Amino acid sequence: MKNPKNIMVCVTQQKTCERLIKRGAELRDEFDGELFVIHVAKEGWNFLGKTKEGDALEYLFQKSKSYGANLTVVRSQDVLETLKDLTEKHNIDTIVLGESQENSEENNIVSKLGKRLRDEIGFEIVPVKIKKKVV
């Protein structure tokens, strides 16, 4: 019997969140854990970078619900500290993130967050899907 593992999916922009939630659901099913979808917005910023926050939040809620995930949306001055707190609160084993466009170590969210978390927490990085050119 496998040990259940809790999965946290960090989402930012609604257009890319479904592939992350889907991957989180696959991991949750594989390890019999719970799935938590988290969006932390910096205080003063629009959620999901959209002016139509209601539509964006409804989309995120529906996608999370369709994969059987718990959704948490929070505003915070310190996004990384809030994510750390949520990993502890929900006993998270693996964090699913989209591939960062930031190559430098000091600006990469995985590097920054990883330094704040306990060593046992793993990361699953979902690559950006590249659309193939039709010739």
109 pLDDT band, cuts 50/70/90, is confident
Q: Is a pLDDT exceeding 60 seen at residue 1?
A: no
Q: For residue range 51-64, what is the model confidence (pLDDT) as tens digits?
A: 566 777 888 889 99
Q: Is a pLDDT exceeding 60 seen at residue 128?
A: yes
Output the pLDDT for position 2: 63
Residues 6+ positions from 4 with CB-CB distance below 8 Å: 31, 32, 33, 34
Output the pLDDT for position 4: 84
Q: Domain span at residue 52? A: 6-126
Phi, psi of 129 (to 5 degrees): -80, 130
Q: For residue range 35-51, what is the model confidence (pLDDT) as tens digits?
A: 999 998 877 765 555 55
Q: How many domains does the chain have?
A: 1
Q: For residue range 4-32, what is the model confidence (pLDDT) as tens digits?
A: 899 999 997 666 688 999 999 999 999 99
Output the pLDDT for position 107: 66
DSSP assignment of the chain: -PPP-EEEEE---HHHHHHHHHHHHHHHHHHT--EEEEEEEETTSPGGG-S-HHHHHHHHHHHHHHTT-EEEEEEES-HHHHHHHHHHHTTEEEEEEEPPS--SGGG-HHHHHHTTS-TT-EEEEEPPPPPPPP-
Of the candidates 43, 71, 45, the residue with the CA atom closest to the CA atom of residue 57: 71
**CATH of residue 105:** 3.40.50.620
